[in-house]
Amino acid sequence: MCTRSQESFDNRMDKEKEQEIRQEKEEKDDARISEIGQVTLDNNEKQYRIHLLNIIGEVEGHENSNASQKTTKYEHILPQLAMIEDNKDIDGVLILLNTVGGDVEAGLAIAEMIASLSKPTVSLVLGGGHSIGVPLAVSADYSFIVPSATMMIHPVRSGGMFIGVIQSYRNIEKIQDRITTFVSSHSKLSKERMETLMLDTSQLVKDVGTMLEGKEAVEEGLIDEIGGIKDAMKKLHDMILNKK
């Protein structure tokens, strides 16, 4: 009787301890989501550990954006990506995008980091993947877009100060070339076709460029497939399994 009582007590204590650990993890996850919009997903049936990375609002660069704007800060994202690469327990990365674009240098830095990860990566465009959001979307190993999402391709603008018109043009041209080269090397969209879409004058009333809806982005070869979170997770699980 004493042994059974002890076993019952031990089992109850183990369950309470498990509950405490689970609750503590949930609180930490909630805090991370609130602070930087990131969390590790590990309750799936295959027990893969997937890092969820959100890129939302404006991609913030060296200067702070308006306090009322939703932003993604590259000084938060870059260390997280380095941590992901260094963490042997993380199996893959799921990137959710709904961005209006933002700082070109910061956006390209994040895109290059994602593209250089050794872990399988899948991106999902929700809402919008505009401007510098385009290279961010294609930086993953495989990309999805929901049917209602849009992607805007337009020429690079510069808010900085340069000396002379020719110098300004050459600087913008080089920045634009870096973007088109990156996108064409990480998608099925050719560099020439992207430049054509950038300079289209027939779509945007007050601007130059092209707005692609979900299906059009796939047809152009910019994004791999139409799909939602279920499709993105399944693809990432398959990629992780193949790597293992």
CB 33 within 8 A of CB 56: no
Strand 142-145 relative to strand 225-226, pairing? parallel
Interatomic CA distance for residues 230 and 19, integer angstroms:
28
Predicted pLDDT at 34:
46
Interatomic CA distance for residues 9 and 23, integer angstroms:
21
Predicted pLDDT at 162:
47
Predicted pLDDT at 204:
76
Q: Flag whether the pTM goes above 0.85.
A: no
Q: Which residues are annotated as catalytic?
A: 131, 154
DSSP letter at 99? Answer: E
Interatomic CA distance for residues 10 and 1, integer angstroms:
14
What are the percentages of helix, strand and coil residues in the chain, rounded to 5?
50, 20, 30
Predicted pLDDT at 164:
52
pLDDT tens string, the chain, 244 residues long: the values are 456 666 665 666 666 676 666 566 555 554 554 455 567 776 676 788 999 999 999 998 877 767 667 888 888 899 999 999 999 999 999 999 999 999 999 999 999 999 999 999 999 999 999 999 999 999 999 999 999 999 999 888 765 444 555 556 677 788 889 999 999 999 999 999 999 999 898 887 667 889 999 999 999 999 999 999 999 999 999 999 998 7
Interatomic CA distance for residues 3 and 148, integer angstroms:
62
